[in-house]
Amino acid sequence: MSRFRAQLPNALPTLLVGLVAGITAVVGSYAAAGFTPSFVITPVTAWITEASPAALTNYVIENLGDLGHTLILLSGVGLVTGGVGVLVVGSRFLGQQLNNRALPVVATTVGTWAFVTATTGQALLALGAALPPGVVVLLTVAAPSLPTPEPVDSRRRQIIAGSFSVAGFSLAGYTVGQRRTPELGGEPLSENSKQQQLLQNASEESFSMDGAEPLVSENFYTVDIANVNPTVDESEWDLTITGEVDEETTLDYAALKNMESVDRFETLRCVGEDLNGKKMDTALWTGVPLENIVARAGPDGDCDCVRLRAADDYYQVFPMDALEDSLLAYGMNGSALPRGHGYPVRALIPGHWGEIQVKWITEIEVLDQDAEGYWEERGWHGTGPVETVAKLHAVNDLDDGRKEVGGHAYAGIRGIQQVEVSTDGGSTWTEAELTEPLDGIDAWRQWRYRYDPPDGSHEVVVRATDGNGTLQTQEERGKFPRGATGWVSRTVQ
Ligand SMILES: Nc1nc2c(c(=O)[nH]1)N[C@H]1C(S)=C(S)[C@@H](COP(=O)(O)O)O[C@H]1N2
Ligand SMILES: [Mo]
C-alpha cells in the first residue's frame, strides 16, 4: 500500500506527458496534411463510423448533420490522443524497467509514424504526426530530474511553461494546417452569360419570404458519410466505366469539359430528412449527359444495373434506366462544384432521392447482378422516385394585417401541378400561388398563400398535387427507411 502511494506522484506526470504527446501528434498531423484524407483523423473517424452499429451511423449522419460530424471528429481526436498516450506511457514504463532512455523516444516516434502511415498511406506526411510526440518524450526523458521533494513553485513553473508550449504549438499547427487545406472548387466556371441569365431569372421569379429559401438555395444542405471530404483535384480526376462493358473507357476532366454541356435546375432531397425538414435544396447545375458516356463503353450486364463509386468509398447501385437524363455535373450555380458538393464531378439522377446523387464520382461499374448500395446495406431503401411533399417554412405577418404562409413543393420528375392550403385544420382548402416552373425536369416550385387570419390560433395544413394529378399522400410515415410522408401542418397564432 505504501509503495503504491509512493509511486502515485510519478504516475501523474507520465500520464500528462502521454496526453501532451497525443495532442501534439494530432496537431502535427493536421499541420502536415490539412483537413484532408491524409490527416490521421480521417481514417480513424471512417473506422469509427464503420465500426458503429448502423442505427447509430444512420442517426448521427442523417439527423445530427454538422454536429454529428463534429462529435465523430472529437471522438477521433480523443482516440488518437489516447492511443499515442498509451504508447508513451507504456514505452516510458518499459524504458524505466530496462533502464533505457532512448526506448520511449524511439517507440513513440516509430509507433506513431507506422500507425499514421498505415492508415493514411502517406509516409512523408506521417512524420508530421510522429515527430512532435517524439520530441515531447525526448524533452521529458532528458530533462534533469528535479531534487526530491521538488520545490512547489518550480513544478508550477514547469506546468505553466508546458501549457503555454502546447497551446502555442497547437495554434501554430492549426494555422499551418488551415493553409495546407487545399481550396478546391467554387471558382466561377467562365463568363457564361447563359448561366447568369438563368440565375437572374430564377431570382426574379422567386417569392421572397422570410423563413424560406429562394428558388435557388442560398444554403444548400450537405449529407456525407465521411467526416473529412475527399480532395480530388480536377487535374487528377478521371472516371472509368468498368465491369460488363465491351470496352473499359476513361474520361478525364479536360475531356469532360470539352463535351457539350447543359445547364438545368435540379432539386436534391435527402431520404433521411423529416417531413418538414430542410434537407431539400435546389441549384443550377452544369454538366454532361451521363447516359451517352456509359453507352459508348457498350454496357452488357445481365441486371441492367450500375454501381457508382466515389473517392470517399461511397457507392450506390441502381437500374440503368435511371441514367436517362442524368448528368455528370461539374458546375453549380455558375461556379465549379464546391468541395462539399462533390468537386470536381458528381452524378445527378433526376427524380431520385439525394443518396444516389453520388459526389466525387470516380467509377461506373456495369453489373451482372444486382447489389446493395451504402445506405441499403444500412437498412434504407435504395433508389426509387421521391415522395411528393409541400413544406411549410415561412409564417409571416404582413404590414396590412394579413398572414403569409409559404414554402416549397417537390415531386421529382412528376413536377408540381398545384398546392392547396387549409387554414382551418383541413376542413376547407384554397389553391396557393406557385412560382413558374424552373428550367429543368426535376425542380421544386415555391408556393405562397396570404390570408386574413381568424382570431386566435388556427391550424395551417398544406398539400401538393404532382404533375400526374396525384395528391400527396396523407398517410403519416417516418423517414426510415423510405422517406417521410404525410401533410405538413402547423399551429399559427
Ligand atoms: N460520395 C458521396 N456521395 C454522396 C453522399 C456521400 O456521403 N458520399 N451522400 C449522399 C446523400 S445521402 C445525399 S442526401 C446527397 C446530398 O448531396 P449534397 O451534400 O450536395 O446536398 O449526396 C449523396 N451523395
Ligand atoms: Mo441523403
Q: Which residues have C-beta within 8 Å of that of residue 394, sequence separation ≥ 6? A: 209, 210, 211, 212, 404, 405, 406, 407, 448
Cα(453) to centroid(ligand 1), Å:
40
Ligand 1 atom nearest 311 alpha carbon: 1
* pLDDT tops 70 at residue 247: yes
The mean pLDDT value of the chain amounts to 93
Cα(224) to centroid(ligand 1), Å:
5
Ligand 1 binding pocket (C-beta < 6 A) is 220-225, 268, 270, 310, 312, 314, 341, 354-355, 357-360
Q: What is the pLDDT of residue 150?
A: 62
Residues of the chain with CATH 2.60.40.650: 389-492
Please give the distance of CA 355 from its chain centroid, rounded to a whole number.
11
Q: Read off the pLDDT band of 230 (50, 70, 90).
A: very high
The span from the CA of 113 to the CA of 98, in Å, is 23
Bond preceding residue 149 cis, omega within 30 of 0 = yes
Which of the ligands is closest to the CA of residue 341?
A: 1
Ligand 1 atom nearest 224 alpha carbon: 7
Residues of the chain with CATH 3.90.420.10: 193-378
Q: What is the pLDDT of residue 241?
A: 97
Ramachandran angles phi, psi of 418, nearest 5°: -160, 150
Cα(64) to centroid(ligand 1), Å:
15
Cα(268) to centroid(ligand 1), Å:
9
CA-derived radius of gyration, the chain? 28
Q: What is the pLDDT of residue 6?
A: 47
Q: What number of other Cβ atoms are within 10 A of residue 467's Cβ? A: 15
Burial of 200 (0-12, 13-18, 19+ CB in 10 A): exposed
Strand-pairing partners, residue 313, are none
Per-residue burial over 45-69, b if 16 or more Cβ lie within 10 Å, else e, is bbebbeeeeeeebbebbbeebeebb
pLDDT in tens, 334-377: 999 999 999 999 999 999 999 999 999 999 999 999 999 999 99
Cα(279) to centroid(ligand 1), Å:
11
Residue in 419, 414, 408 with CA at minimum distance from that of residue 465: 419
- State which of 10-14, 99-103, 127-131, 194-198 shows the largest mean pLDDT: 127-131
Strand ranges of the sheet holding 238-243, from the earlier edge strand across to the other edge: 249-252, 238-243, 361-367, 305-310, 315-319
The span from the CA of 227 to the CA of 69, in Å, is 6
The closest residue, in CA terms, to atom 21 on ligand 1 is 222
pLDDT in tens, 159-182: 888 889 999 999 999 999 999 999
Q: Which CATH number fits domain 389-492: 2.160.10.10, 3.40.50.1820, 3.30.465.10, 2.60.40.650?
A: 2.60.40.650
If one residue of 224, 285, 364, 386 were mutated to test the ligand 1 pocket, choosing by the most ligand atoms within 8 A of its CB, it would be 224
Residue in 16, 13, 45 with CA at minimum distance from that of residue 29: 45
Ligand 1 atom nearest 226 alpha carbon: 7
Q: What is the pLDDT of residue 149?
A: 63
Cα(317) to centroid(ligand 2), Å:
14
Q: Read off the pLDDT band of 8 (50, 70, 90).
A: low
Q: Which residues have C-beta within 8 Å of that of residue 349, sequence separation ≥ 6? A: 318, 322, 323, 326, 356, 357, 383
Q: Indicate whether this model's pTM tops 0.85.
A: yes
| Higher-confidence position of 270 and 65 | 270
Q: What is the pLDDT of residue 1?
A: 46
Domain spanning 193-378, CATH architecture: Alpha-Beta Complex (3.90)
Q: Read off the pLDDT band of 383 (50, 70, 90).
A: confident
Q: What is the mean pLDDT of residues 255-274?
A: 96
Which of the ligands is closest to the CA of residue 281?
A: 1
